[in-house]
Amino acid sequence: MGRRKSRFLRKPVEPFVVNAGATTDDVLARMERISFQGRNLGTARRIWEKMLGSDCTIFLGTAGALSAGGMRLIIAHLIEHRYIDVLVSTGANLYHDLHETRGRRHFIGSPTLDDAALAAERIDRVYDTLASEDEFSKNDEWIAAFALKLERRPHTTREFLYKLGEQLWNDTGNNGILTAAYRAKVPIFCPAIADSSIGMGLSQARHRDQTAGFSDVIGDIIESANIVIRKPATATIVLGGGTPKNFINQASVQAEYFDDRVGGHKFAIQIVTDVPHFGGASGSSLEEARSWGKLATDAEQVTVHADATIALPILVSALAGGAVDTLARRKPMSFDLAGPTMSANGRPFPHARFEAR
Amino acid sequence: MGRRKSRFLRKPVEPFVVNAGATTDDVLARMERISFQGRNLGTARRIWEKMLGSDCTIFLGTAGALSAGGMRLIIAHLIEHRYIDVLVSTGANLYHDLHETRGRRHFIGSPTLDDAALAAERIDRVYDTLASEDEFSKNDEWIAAFALKLERRPHTTREFLYKLGEQLWNDTGNNGILTAAYRAKVPIFCPAIADSSIGMGLSQARHRDQTAGFSDVIGDIIESANIVIRKPATATIVLGGGTPKNFINQASVQAEYFDDRVGGHKFAIQIVTDVPHFGGASGSSLEEARSWGKLATDAEQVTVHADATIALPILVSALAGGAVDTLARRKPMSFDLAGPTMSANGRPFPHARFEAR
Amino acid sequence: MGRRKSRFLRKPVEPFVVNAGATTDDVLARMERISFQGRNLGTARRIWEKMLGSDCTIFLGTAGALSAGGMRLIIAHLIEHRYIDVLVSTGANLYHDLHETRGRRHFIGSPTLDDAALAAERIDRVYDTLASEDEFSKNDEWIAAFALKLERRPHTTREFLYKLGEQLWNDTGNNGILTAAYRAKVPIFCPAIADSSIGMGLSQARHRDQTAGFSDVIGDIIESANIVIRKPATATIVLGGGTPKNFINQASVQAEYFDDRVGGHKFAIQIVTDVPHFGGASGSSLEEARSWGKLATDAEQVTVHADATIALPILVSALAGGAVDTLARRKPMSFDLAGPTMSANGRPFPHARFEAR
Amino acid sequence: MGRRKSRFLRKPVEPFVVNAGATTDDVLARMERISFQGRNLGTARRIWEKMLGSDCTIFLGTAGALSAGGMRLIIAHLIEHRYIDVLVSTGANLYHDLHETRGRRHFIGSPTLDDAALAAERIDRVYDTLASEDEFSKNDEWIAAFALKLERRPHTTREFLYKLGEQLWNDTGNNGILTAAYRAKVPIFCPAIADSSIGMGLSQARHRDQTAGFSDVIGDIIESANIVIRKPATATIVLGGGTPKNFINQASVQAEYFDDRVGGHKFAIQIVTDVPHFGGASGSSLEEARSWGKLATDAEQVTVHADATIALPILVSALAGGAVDTLARRKPMSFDLAGPTMSANGRPFPHARFEAR
């Protein structure tokens, strides 16, 4: 080629070489040198380890049917070992977690089953996965009964879910998202709790006692923003878009409103199947997030266009193998979540008020 | 071809013939005889008219950036002319509606703009659409100030949004989703209000007065289920999935729990860009909804895989042309939404309690 | 808002206003001021009219099951009225066109039919559309018989398909893609003819006579590039990606190799459902096409992410209404396609050789 | 639950447990018990091993930019170790393979690079991957020069690509798809060769000598069908849809036309990102394939909705670890590909004629 290579052509793609017995960590490390979503998944592994090695608060957002789909013990692992610091979830993922923690199961089905036949047997289908509606009804009643035991005041979902995890842990001793979060004192926010079977359980508590079942979802906004404010750097990992994705971004935007040292998340990973070009928030790009200040202009970020049920087992298996030392050195914030006012590293958040760092 | 035609081969596809000056209604009518999503859009037009001609309560769910994207006056039209009876929306769609009703605008941009440059000028990007962050901040403050004028008690989003529409109408006299719903007394539910700038405005009210800004999203569950119970038949039209889609389905499931004459929505249209095979609720099929009882086993239903910004202008233009008489004969429920207890056709819903028909 | 508006915030989104009895042309004109794919569809209408008003050669690429899906008479209309000058198609679209031109039909089915039952009745399914396999077999035999009548030499698909259209027209007098192209002398290229039932028909001719059924698909490359070279400007309209999309782009790249005044297509519209981020050519962006020189750096272009069975009926209905005068003034190249050497405006293309303008 | 469990609720989902240092084979084995596309990827691993353990001919179809994206040595591995028996590919994948086998590289880029700047430096972009256009032009010339050395008669792509692999191997001694296929005597078909830079090279050979550069793509149809006929069972593995997917299916349909003991592929795996509901062949379901007889009614099959650059490295790493013994026992057909008439296990295919088993 005689002439000098273009500045654009510096780093060649390295064709992936098959290696029998490779660990997931080895595979992902080499995938960073291929292209397209394979490269992005490899990059996600690297950025996540970088988050763990930085002094930042890591938010995880979980949308989609992850718990029904077999991902709940991975999320519990991330909580227990503090790969993350704060969980923002749809109600469904927490509900299906509760279902299994209470000893019930989801079942292997198929997307082509006869739904009229399923309805006749009171079986609910989530694509290729099934569950008993009667067992679901019993969960709802269990949640209603639990809610009737609580003080008669609005609870942030953060406080409510902590207590729910406590009850579940005391009742069952089983591992899961809610129980792991209770034990590790990792806050969980559920901004759309009213759009879930947990919300249905709360409404049934209200039906029995009109002073019960109040969720303070606006309080969640304040607490989540205060968590962002508390540390100079934050990171976001999002599985599947939805309300968790936006809520984590909103926490940063709202935080900046009260403390202009907040400058957007410093790291971002999103594993999504939605696309940007229809304008919805679930599929929106991380580039777009910069215009809003949701992400720092120089944030390290990657979007992986993949189903989380493929990406997550591989990604977390790889980190569990290769990021052990980085994780061991990590010093995450320690939360106290038991009351209406939470605290971080022993310092309480002011009640119902944004507070600059 | 001597032998008899298969029972499967009865109704031929009719190739679409180009017809200069065709109205949208004419085009959609003929699209029902082509294939794929074109056929489905034609079918959606027919099923919607059938809803209008049946004695049923019609829920519309709006997710995605519809208001920012120029769809808000279509939705206002559907409300004003009672093509629908109940709106369930993301907060974003209501917030961007409020932004324009207050006289601000969204702007034509491009998905390839430099987001760092936009951030520097405090401009927020939604794919190819732009808005001023300073104007957004002023909206937030306006919402906070409005919330501080309300009684100090939790408000369902239904009640809160009705009062918000009233205030907007009194202030501006401008048409929009919130003001049309106020004037037509169409209830709006916003189950994920905490995941939106409306929620951010409420949190700022709380910041100023810790007794302000409480949303009773659990009360919304009860009211929405009671609306379902009240009439023998219900219908769902969903644009874009998200919390509105599930909340409308949940209303039917929750209603059935208290009145087993409820048997799922009788008609369903969804216009979505998500797909079923990743397991998320946004993309879930209407077949799957039957297994849950969200849809009646014999419901008339269609899914249109399309961006609502293409499908909606065409679909509603067509209905406005062709379904005039059907619409004129319609006798929708009349709601009273001004207080904490709503009523339908003069009969109040019991306070905070599910009630069988 | 005392301070001056940002340069980015110049052109507001105009919310779409419902207008009973609107024509598709009116609807599309106003959709250019909304957002997302609705805006893009409106833009496609404007760019297509601009193509018609410019002195350029317009290529149309058709992939996907458009003919089976009811789009074939729209494509025939585009050919007959010279909205386009050259068609590049998958074999399937030509084959399903031939099927209907020969008097057979495709039928309305459903994606949830039992495929084993269909197989037992020898019915082939294309998503929600059905056809008789026996009728397909007869088409194959008809194609084989036709091929056996041709001279024993390799035919470009351009020449072969012209003669096929001639035969069909003589046999049936029916309108369709192949017969319209024959009558309007619009060349059709089918670069992947071997991957279609037309190819299967040719292979059956070969089976009967080993000197029959030779396609000169490499000759097609030369002819398509020479068509590009012949005029200063070209345009591409692509429905659905696939081999037609790339072949049209390749024609420009190959043309530039022999005449460096060729500088990429000057206008481009693509209506696709694929996305760019998996790296495939079908979903690749028009921005990317610029890096290759497939598109001029200053080309006017738009991608519409939509199913062609929605976008095409609306777009062409609108153009047929509103672009009549522009079309009437158009002076497209006149082709002679009857022999192995084609000519444009009376000037033959050199045989088997690229030639600069 | 007292009452007997439904027949639908037999096999529970097993939540995935994180296991540090897990191999890809261990991870995939456990993914078969989760849901959604993760389950499907696990199933693909099991079905592929089942193919290897059965007496069947395995077709692999490769579309999309797999070679540019770093997948070419995985495909070479599959060829060399006879995980597959026949490759059907787009021209692009073979061309980008040739590019690297000739010592050139693809480079790591980004989807947000400035395409005008790339065009100015003559760099071609494939989403996030770059290559030098000058190097591409030299490849084209190399291919043209090679084609000019061949006998002046139409070559099937199978014969042409075998000779091309031979030349590449003799010139470079480098591993790659074409050279591995040459050495392992695995036939490659390229039905859309005219829609690729290999076709462009052939057209340049024609430009220099009008008797050169004839591809017999119809002959490929006959050979591929005869390969299907030769063995009682066949299998298809498709990466990314496109012409390879349909060509492999067509081979079975065409084969059945001449030998009705052929009853469709007995195993099928497709890893695709397209979806069925737009009607295109790339996204079409394996259920639909049954209606056509492309697949046996009782075929074992799975569709994985995923980018191949994620799925393939993991899937093949897993098989290389866990399917060693199964692979060692495999006795694949042995092909002779050097001349115009190919043979399998020493028995030639009749020239240009379908032949029953």
Q: Tell me, what amino acid is at C195? A: D
* Percent of the residues in chain B that have a pLDDT greater than 70, as a whole number: 99
Report the 10 Å Cβ neighbour count for A26: 18
Look at C35 and A279 and tell me if their CB atoms are within 8 Å: yes
Q: Is B238 helix (H, G, I), strand (E, B) or coil?
A: strand
As a whole number, mean pLDDT of residues C302-327 equals 97
Query: Does the annotation mark C294 as catalytic?
Result: yes
Q: Which of B272-281, C76-85, C342-351, D305-314 has the lowest mean pLDDT?
A: C342-351
Token pair 């379902």 is found at: B228
Q: Is the pLDDT of residue B95 over 90?
A: yes
Instruction: Pick D69's closest partner by Cβ from A36, A74, A314.
Output: A36
Work out how many CB contacts closer than 8 A connect A with D.
257
Chains adjacent to B (≥3 CB pairs closer than 8 angstroms):
A, C, D
Longest dimension (CA), chain A: 83
Residue C2: which pLDDT band, with cuts at 50, 70 and 90? Answer: very low
Could you read off the pLDDT of A106-152 as tens digits, one per residue? 999 999 999 999 999 999 999 999 999 999 999 999 999 999 999 99
Which pLDDT score is estimated for C257?
87
- B35: nearest CA partner in chain D: D279
Rounded Cα–Cα distance for residues A221 and D263 (Å):
61
CB contact A328 to D (< 8 Å): no
CB contact B352 to C (< 8 Å): no
As a whole number, mean pLDDT of residues A30-53 equals 98
Could you read off the pLDDT of C149-202 as tens digits, one per residue? 999 999 999 999 999 999 999 999 999 999 999 999 999 999 999 999 999 999
Which pLDDT score is estimated for A4?
65
CA A287 vs CA A275, A298, B112, D300: distances in Å: 13, 10, 9, 42
Which pLDDT score is estimated for C134?
96
* Percent of the residues in chain D that have a pLDDT greater than 90, as a whole number: 95
Alpha-carbon dihedral sign for residues B282, B285, B286, B289:
negative
Q: Is the pLDDT of residue B344 over 80?
A: yes
Which pLDDT score is estimated for D3?
54
As a whole number, mean pLDDT of residues C1-14 equals 81
- D315: nearest CA partner in chain A: A18
Could you read off the pLDDT of B49-86 as tens digits, one per residue? 999 999 999 999 999 999 999 999 999 999 999 999 99
Instruction: Pick B16's closest partner by Cβ from C39, C70, C130.
Output: C70
- Mean pLDDT over all residues of chain D? 96
Q: Is the pLDDT of residue C73 over 70?
A: yes
Look up residue A70 and give its two tokens.
Answer: 């077999």
Look at D305 and B36 and tell me if their CB atoms are within 8 Å: no
Which pLDDT score is estimated for D2?
44
Q: Is the pLDDT of residue A220 over 70?
A: yes
CB contact A55 to B (< 8 Å): no
Give me the torsion for CA of B137, B138, B139, B141, rounded to 10°.
Answer: 90
- Do residues B11 and B39 touch, judged by C-beta distance below 8 A? no
CA-based nearest residue to C75, from C220, C227, C181, C197: C181
Which pLDDT score is estimated for C3?
54
Which pLDDT score is estimated for A350?
84
Pairing of strands A57-62, C107-108: unpaired
Give me the torsion for CA of C183, C185, C188, C189, rounded to 10°.
Answer: 150
A234 phi and psi angles, rounded to 5 deg: -135, 160
- Do residues C342 and C349 touch, judged by C-beta distance below 8 A? yes
CA-based nearest residue to D192, from D88, D90, D63, D94: D90
Q: pTM of the full predicted structure? A: 0.97
As a whole number, mean pLDDT of residues B195-205 equals 97
* Stronger pLDDT, A319 or B20, i.e. the higher one: A319
As a whole number, mean pLDDT of residues D295-312 equals 97
Provide the chain D residues 291-310 that lie in CB contact (below 8 A) with chain B.
305
Could you read off the pLDDT of B286-338 as tens digits, one per residue? 999 999 999 999 999 999 999 999 999 999 999 999 999 999 999 999 999 99
Rounded Cα–Cα distance for residues B63 and B45 (Å):
20
Q: Is the pLDDT of residue B146 over 50?
A: yes
**Gyration radius (Cα) of chain C, Å:** 21
CA A8 vs CA A43, B13, D184, D193: distances in Å: 19, 51, 36, 30
As a whole number, mean pLDDT of residues C281-302 equals 95
- B320: nearest CA partner in chain C: C20
Q: What are the DSSP E strand ranges found in B39-183?
A: 57-62, 86-89, 107-108, 123-126, 129-132
- Do residues D38 and A70 touch, judged by C-beta distance below 8 A? yes
CB contact D324 to B (< 8 Å): no
The DSSP letter of residue C152 is S
HEC secondary structure over A100-165 = HHCCCCCEECCCCCCHHHHHHCCEEEECCEEEEHHHHHHHHHHHHHHHHHCCCCCECHHHHHHHHH
Site from D157, D197, D278 to mutate, C interface, most C CB atoms within 10 angstroms? D278
- B23: nearest CA partner in chain C: C23
- Do residues C125 and C107 touch, judged by C-beta distance below 8 A? no
Give me the torsion for CA of B128, B134, B140, B145, rounded to 10°.
Answer: -150
Q: Which of A257-261, A302-306, D103-107, D111-115 has the lowest mean pLDDT?
A: A257-261
Look up residue D75 and give its two tokens.
Answer: 């495909």
Q: Is D141 helix (H, G, I), strand (E, B) or coil?
A: helix
CA-based nearest residue to B130, from B63, B65, B76: B65
Q: How far is B227 from chain A (nearest CA, A)?
A: 15
Q: Tell me, what amino acid is at B193? A: I
Instruction: Pick A218's closest partner by Cβ from B118, B133, B199.
Output: B199
Q: Is the pLDDT of residue A177 over 60?
A: yes
The DSSP letter of residue A12 is B
As a whole number, mean pLDDT of residues B174-187 equals 98
CB burial of residue D148 (10 Å; 0-12, 13-18, 19+) = middle
Which pLDDT score is estimated for B4?
64
Q: Is the pLDDT of residue D1 over 60?
A: no
CB burial of residue C199 (10 Å; 0-12, 13-18, 19+) = buried
Q: Is the pLDDT of residue C94 over 80?
A: yes
Rounded Cα–Cα distance for residues C277 and C279 (Å):
5
Q: Is the pLDDT of residue B2 over 90?
A: no
Which pLDDT score is estimated for D4?
65
- D305: nearest CA partner in chain B: B277
- B136: nearest CA partner in chain C: C1
Q: Is the pLDDT of residue A179 over 60?
A: yes
As a whole number, mean pLDDT of residues C224-234 equals 95
Chains adjacent to D (≥3 CB pairs closer than 8 angstroms):
A, B, C
* Percent of the residues in chain D that have a pLDDT greater than 70, as a whole number: 99
Alpha-carbon dihedral sign for residues A132, A134, A137, A141:
negative
CB-CB neighbors (< 8 A) of D31 in chain A: 309-310, 313
Number of helical H runs and strand E runs in chain D: 14, 12
D138 phi and psi angles, rounded to 5 deg: -65, -35
Rounded Cα–Cα distance for residues B94 and B71 (Å):
11
What is the set of active-site residues of A?
294
Rounded Cα–Cα distance for residues D127 and A337 (Å):
45
What is the set of active-site residues of B?
294
* Percent of the residues in chain B that have a pLDDT greater than 90, as a whole number: 95
Residue A257: which pLDDT band, with cuts at 50, 70 and 90? Answer: confident
Provide the chain C residues 87-106 that lie in CB contact (below 8 A) with chain B.
100, 105-106
Instruction: Pick A351's closest partner by Cβ from B210, B290, B291.
Output: B210
Adjacency order of strands within the sheet including C265-272? C188-189, C86-89, C57-62, C234-239, C265-272, C295-305
Instruction: Pick D37's closest partner by Cβ from B36, B277, B305.
Output: B277
Angle at B197 between CA B195 and CA B199, to 5 degrees: 60
Q: Is the pLDDT of residue A3 over 60?
A: no
Rounded Cα–Cα distance for residues A264 and B34 (Å):
48
CB-CB neighbors (< 8 A) of D204 in chain C: 257
Look at A277 and C305 and tell me if their CB atoms are within 8 Å: yes
Look at B305 and D36 and tell me if their CB atoms are within 8 Å: no
Rounded Cα–Cα distance for residues B212 and A151 (Å):
20
Pairing of strands A335-336, A343-344: antiparallel
- Do residues A311 and D27 touch, judged by C-beta distance below 8 A? no
Pairing of strands D347-348, D343-344: antiparallel
